[in-house]
Amino acid sequence: MGKPTGFMEYKRKTDSVMSPLERIKNFDEFHEPLDKDERQTQAARCMNCGVPFCQSGMELNHMVTGCPLHNLIPEWNDEIYRGNWEQALARLLKTNNFPEFTGRICPALCECACTCGLNDAPVTVKENELTIIETGYENGWMKSHKSPVKSGKKIAVIGGGPAGLAVADRLNKHGHSVTVYERENRAGGLLTYGIPNMKLDKSVVDRRVSLMKEEGVVFKTNVNVGIDVKFDDILKEYDAVAVCCGAKKPRKLNAEGIDTKGVYFAVDYLGDVTANLMGEKDKLLVNAKDKNVVVVGGGDTGVNCVETAIRQGCKSVYQLEMMPKLPDTRAENNPWPQYPRVCKVDYGHEESIAVFGHDPRIYQTTVKKVVSDKKGNIKEIVTVALDFVKDEKTGRMKPVEISGSEKTMPCDILLIAAGFVGCENYIGEKFNLKINERGNINSNSHATSKDKVFVAGDARRGQSLVVWAISEGRQCAKEIDKYLMGYTNMV
């Protein structure tokens, strides 16, 4: 696909990015897309490889490589190269309900598996995808499409995050009547309240929700099922229910004094900042301006906290990572097309380097103690270095404190971004659903033990990527359609 010799003739060129010191002045998106001619040249690099690992979404060495949605990447790269943008959009939407989300925030598992990346730089798959969908909106191709035939079946979707939106979008397009229940002010889940505005502007989420409303999906916000409305009442009213409530129970730190004032979970901090930006809150829960900030957790959520604290004007920011630093290049035991386990410098790290002169990450370190002042507010933390030893019972490597490695750091705000451990407690209790040992809703595929109740997204598989949530939602919708109709023609 693309130009047969394109990968030899053209070098990878990405969208331009605003300089760190300039982009931290606000919470706006900071990428400037290539023009259409340059984008077509980039699509020409898709090399018509024999096996397109980019769309495989398969597991190698316990890690997924390639797109979990199995996007038809070579096909729409070819359409871009030939200038057939509307056809490219049609092929993209065949497998991905929301390319405007994944094109912005997905870690691009597709590019990690790109054959061109074996000996050169991979194709700009993620940016090509985003250009396709944005071109669709710009040209009015993203119109409301209502199913001409109605099934007479009613489905409730509990949770308006990416998994819930995918379930709703797919079932609605197949003629079912869908109502989405969302406990927050707006739909979107972590798309809205977890991912900072500069990575995903909330107008993008609102635009898609508005289109879904035009197509007939009903959204009931500020309704917490299980609290405001009984789950059993939902069951009585609808023919099927999809539980897509996420896995928002944050992992706590086992540190002395962790309940001190000034310690917050990252999800609460990020959600509060976004709600304030959208005008939903007049006052911030916490403002990092002129404060020493420490983030615990080296993942994407931790980086989001770093970026947000810098934009608020923090005095300093550090990111504690309990794992060792990954190598800068692939190790011999991590060959292509496996997912590359290499150290990455994210936008927040670049911004910290530009503002403070150093990468914010401190590896193999965690918080041992939180120290408060006379008023009970956090003033500093005691950190400890970690080593990893093999557990004789499980055979797994476990972290062990290194004696005498304690250090004291000034800290006015401690943000815990250590991941999530499953659904919130009330989900299993109020919905009367079985919760497994990982804290997720137990299911056989997407069907739960309770008749006509299905589950998708993080609530089923645990904390994961947005692209996986969309994939989960698509497959859950397919199971629900078959349950209701006795067959399904969804692919």
Report the run of H or E that residue 397 belongs to, with start and end: strand 397-401
Q: Facing residues of 317 across strands?
A: 293
Give the fold, CATH level 3, of 154-248+421-485: FAD/NAD(P)-binding domain (3.50.50)
Q: How far apart are CA 235 and CA 217, in angstroms?
A: 18
Q: What single-letter DSSP state applies at residue 250?
A: B
Segment 276-292, tens digit of pLDDT: 999 999 999 999 999 99
Domain ranges for the chain, please list them. Answer: 6-138, 154-248+421-485, 263-416
| 154-248+421-485 shares its CATH topology with 263-416 | yes
Segment 406-465, tens digit of pLDDT: 999 999 999 999 999 999 999 999 999 999 999 999 999 999 999 999 999 999 999 999
Q: How far apart are CA 233 and CA 156, in angstroms?
A: 11
Segment 214-253, tens digit of pLDDT: 999 999 999 999 999 999 999 999 999 999 999 999 999 9
* Mean pLDDT value of segment 47-74: 94
* Residue 357 C-alpha from the chain's centroid: 29
263-416 has which CATH code? 3.50.50.60
- Note whether 474 and 443 are within 8 A (CB): no
**Entry field: residues in the chain:** 491
6-138 has which CATH code? 1.10.1060.10
DSSP assignments along 115-175, one per residue: GGGGTSPPP-HHHHHHHHHHHHHHTT-S-----SS----EEEEE--SHHHHHHHHHHHHTT
